[in-house]
Amino acid sequence: MNIATLDLLRCPYCGGRLELVSSLFHRRDGDEIQDGILGCSCCIFGIVEGIPIMHLNEASTTARAHVEAGRPDLARRTMFGLDDDRHAARFDEVVASDTATYRDVVEALGPNFEGGYFLYRFSDPTYVVANAVVRAVAGTVLSGGGRAIDICGGSGHLTRTLLEVSSPAPVLADLYFSKVWLARRFTAPGCEAVCCDGNGPFPFVRGAFRYAMCTDAFMYIWTKRLFVGEMARLVDGQPDAAMLIGHTHNERTWTPSHGQPLSQDGYRNLFETIEPRVFAESSLFADIVKGGPLDLSRHDSADAIDADQALTIIASRHPGVFAPHVLAPPSPTRGELRLNPLYSVVPDGVRITLRLSFPSDDYAQEYGACREYLPDEVVVDRASVDALRSGRLPSNLTELARRRVILDLPRRYY
Ligand SMILES: [Zn+2]
């Protein structure tokens, strides 16, 4: 973590400032703190591999003791939940390799690690909608500068989008060390990551951010009222700030992995200081499938919202937010241009046939809506596909990039 991030951090329990305890073990490289101990007036917290761990569960307390004892290697093992020595040694080997990919690390963590369909994340419909909404809302409110936070942001797939618009770099907060670690190394390098509990007070100072969001996680938060109050505190006093809750489930319509969702009025009720607008996710999805604009000036009917599996909730006083937003054309490549892994590749002379095939029936059931933009079959010339390696998108493949057959993935993703 950068030393300047201490200006944002506050103890979640006493609200006090935190300082690096210089009398205890620490490793620092210029302005970056690698490992160490942070202290406030009430307790101490560990920093492991540049990630402050701002909760006091059993693993984080054990890891903190390892850091104090000068064993950051053991602290990392603890935070990854690797208690079997042989497994841990194998994991350390994978992580030490310069060529290891996100996929390698997920596989080395073992089947208990919830990796799920991460390979397909960048083209699944939930991501596609969230990415467009985040670009539109965060892009608008941060156009004149300001910082974003992605709360419960997991391994940073959308934090990566925030890196384009947040200045200074966005903060990613999540309960799980392994996820934010993956984000810092692969998905969103350059973000600041903090481990903390979304069911407690957030460990940040009031007004530290101009944009705060939580996507695809809010239905699993039990203390929803506290959470929204905390989000409002984080952007308090910032001119034209925005709060976004993306892809949260709907009490009125059953969904797989339902969580504990609320109705639209239940969600509105959480916002005490500002009236949010609630969108039916399928209407935003339809905007994207037809190529835009993403129309945030719409007022979905109460019935349409009740019938939708997932909702997007936006609260902002910025005049540019609730407006139609042009979908950004593919920007200069940020990572590596790759064929979408949902396609099988059949070479045929100078051409290649790409066929859409889902990894499982479960995937088809949950994410099958991607068929709205992913064609079943497409034939492309091999030379153009080979040219993707240069990092530049040939003009004849622009449409396939827009339809997510070609993806701009983080480097060394798989
Ligand atoms: Zn404290």
pLDDT single digits (tens) 45-56? 999 999 999 999
- Cα(228) to centroid(ligand 1), Å: 22
Q: What string of H, E and C letters represents the secondary structure of 156-200? A: CCCHHHHCCCCECCCEEEECCHHHHHHHHHHHCCCCEEEECCCCC
**Mean local confidence (pLDDT), 282-309:** 97
pLDDT category of residue 111 using cuts at 50, 70 and 90: confident
pTM for this entry? 0.96
**Mean local confidence (pLDDT), 157-162:** 97
- Cα(200) to centroid(ligand 1), Å: 13
- Cα(38) to centroid(ligand 1), Å: 10
pLDDT of residue 114 exceeding 70: no
- Cα(54) to centroid(ligand 1), Å: 10
359-409 pLDDT per residue, tens = 999 899 889 999 999 999 999 999 999 999 998 899 999 999 999 999 999
pLDDT of residue 226 exceeding 70: yes
- Cα(176) to centroid(ligand 1), Å: 21
- Cα(236) to centroid(ligand 1), Å: 22
- Cα(57) to centroid(ligand 1), Å: 15
299-325 pLDDT per residue, tens = 999 999 999 999 999 999 999 999 999
Listing DSSP states for 320-385 in one string gives TTSSEEPPPPP-S-SSEEEE-TTEEEEEETTEEEEEE--S-HHHHHHHGGGGGTS-SEEEEEHHHH
pLDDT of residue 328: 80
- Cα(346) to centroid(ligand 1), Å: 59
- Cα(81) to centroid(ligand 1), Å: 25
What is the CA 323 to chain-centroid distance, rounded?
A: 24
**Mean local confidence (pLDDT), 282-293:** 96
- Cα(14) to centroid(ligand 1), Å: 4
pLDDT of residue 117: 80
- Cα(53) to centroid(ligand 1), Å: 13
- Cα(75) to centroid(ligand 1), Å: 21
- Cα(305) to centroid(ligand 1), Å: 42
Q: H helices of 53-124, where?
A: 58-68, 72-79, 85-96, 102-109
Mean pLDDT of the chain: 95
- Cα(267) to centroid(ligand 1), Å: 31
- Cα(7) to centroid(ligand 1), Å: 15
pLDDT of residue 85: 92
**Mean local confidence (pLDDT), 244-266:** 94
Total H helices, total E strands in the chain? 14, 19
**Mean local confidence (pLDDT), 207-221:** 97
pLDDT category of residue 115 using cuts at 50, 70 and 90: low
pLDDT of residue 238: 94
pLDDT category of residue 83 using cuts at 50, 70 and 90: confident
- Cα(39) to centroid(ligand 1), Å: 7
pLDDT category of residue 327 using cuts at 50, 70 and 90: very high
